[in-house]
Chain A
């Protein structure tokens, strides 16, 4: 009996020790960023990076980073992009999934495979030719163009929706059709509301992706005076006129904050959503 107790205690120690260690490693790089962001340039030069700042109310770095990287505009743009992309990609993604799941028609399998294959294509390598297309459409330096592009490059959300539809009984549709509903009506009135969990999943996955996307944003939204996004605002700190680490860290923290706040507020939904994707995926 005693031995079992010992074993249990030992296990508990191992368990919490590893958990603490894992969490420590996960936050350490970011915590150091926070520390550095609160140091004055002189303090930064003189102290070890792990030494806590003298004052936690030294906001100068944040003010500078906010101004230099034009973050007010960046946040505005990112919010617009986020809302539009999420709205349209969820709408079109779920519509496509509905069609693919509910109707048998020639080409159904082909279309599924086309989407699947698309997810294997190397996105970075194709930007050369994508750029030519964006250019000929006149969508360089256009929020609209970027939003359309971001809506189009998504495969995972379609799969999540398809999987979700599989679990919604077809008899529901049939009943509605009997009542004189059109197929459009079935989708918008009956099924879309039922999709809520899947929509949350997609919002999270896609939302994180869109918010943090920098490669294409940098490529297609070049006029940073007007079209900077939160992720590309960080480019301000690179290059020949780069910046001190104090400002960089402050900038990094600023870009992370909204994600952090949303995360803390909607923790449950986020975990639930991801798990949903997992179980179905």
Chain B
């Protein structure tokens, strides 16, 4: 018995025990709720099947259909709206974050007001914006105050030239403040002395932003860009809760949802999901390479910068370089 206790408390065994017990629950959950369903979904994609009844193995037919249907990839084009929206969102967030990191009267209130939409539930967003965009309601009224004539205003959710922008704007509304707070946090973590030094050098606001703030938070900006672009490919909620995907606002996932539930084409919908997943993976990889090359990521320097420097170093033939921080 004593031996057993000794054995169990011995560092090595204890370590193994610790690894196993600590990892068991999360890994079990990950397997049960992510990877088993994922495997099943891959399986579904090779079948012609409904939720009920017989299934029939059809090989790659579902995949062929995803590529030959005109609505699937047309829907992916809508992602451009959401990518554009996420650029606007990040730009605004960066702008406001910079403003608010310096002394501003009422800064806390502005920050709070702009952050608040992040806390609103998705269903509520649907209700709120249907109301907001209704003809003659909120948006139209405000624009009329500004001197617009109602007759010249579009139908925000009906006109196909603008409705995707309307819907994408709601996602800017919702997440801009959260991005802003993230950026403020990142800016705040920059050493205050740097600003002081810059001020002594007579740097203006823009210079401070360009040379101190931006470089020091570029990592998090890049990270958010990557998330924004992959997120834009798989947009579901805004059109789902606001327009139901009608009038050309159906994104890839909304179309998939319709196929799966209104037409019971589970196999096809699963194939669509897998195709999108592959696209997202490729997009993520490309972006990573891209950013690694031009800007650098995390603690790695940009590859381009490294090359330049190496070239310089080689030219100077100096032996003291090469420190990769």
Listed in ascending order, the chain A residues whose CB lies under 8 Å from chain B are 11, 15-16, 18-20, 22-23, 25-30, 32-33, 36, 48-50, 92-93, 95-96, 98-99, 103, 105, 111, 114-115, 118, 120-122, 124-126, 128-130, 132-133, 148-149, 151-153, 158, 177, 182-184, 187, 208, 211-212, 214-215, 230-231, 234-235, 237-238, 245, 248-249, 252, 255-256, 259-260, 263-264, 267, 270-272, 274-279, 281
- Is B91 positioned at the interface, with any CB of A under 8 Å from its CB? no
Flag the segment in B59-67, B114-122, B156-164 that touches A: B114-122
Interface size on B, residues (CB 8 A): 92
Closest CB-CB distance, B266 to chain A, in whole Å?
6
Known contacts A149-B33, A211-B121, A234-B121; decide if A275 and B116 are in contact (CB<8 Å).
no
A132 surroundings in chain B (CB, below 8 A):
37, 40
Known: A18-B96, A23-B109. 10 other contacts (CB 8 A): A22-B96, A26-B117, A26-B177, A120-B230, A129-B40, A214-B123, A259-B120, A263-B116, A267-B112, A271-B181
B155 surroundings in chain A (CB, below 8 A):
none
Subset of 8 A-B contacts with CB under 8 Å: A26-B177, A30-B117, A126-B41, A152-B34, A153-B29, A187-B18, A211-B121, A231-B121
Which B residues, 94 to 108, have Cβ-Cβ distances below 8 Å to chain A? 95-96, 99-100, 104-106, 108
Q: Across the two chains, which residue of chain B brings its CB closest to A184?
A: B18
Closest CB-CB distance, A183 to chain B, in whole Å?
4
Tell me the total A-B contact number using a CB cutoff of 8 A. 247
Per-position contact with A for B68-112: 1 when CB-CB < 8 Å, else 0?
Answer: 000000000000000000000000100110011000111011111
Known contacts A98-B22, A255-B124; decide if A49 and B141 are in contact (CB<8 Å).
yes
A208 surroundings in chain B (CB, below 8 A):
118-119
Closest CB-CB distance, A209 to chain B, in whole Å?
10
Secondary structure of the A side of the interface?
helix
CB pair A263 B119 closer than 8 Å: yes
Partner of A33, one of B95, B106, B128, B273: B128
B223 surroundings in chain A (CB, below 8 A):
281
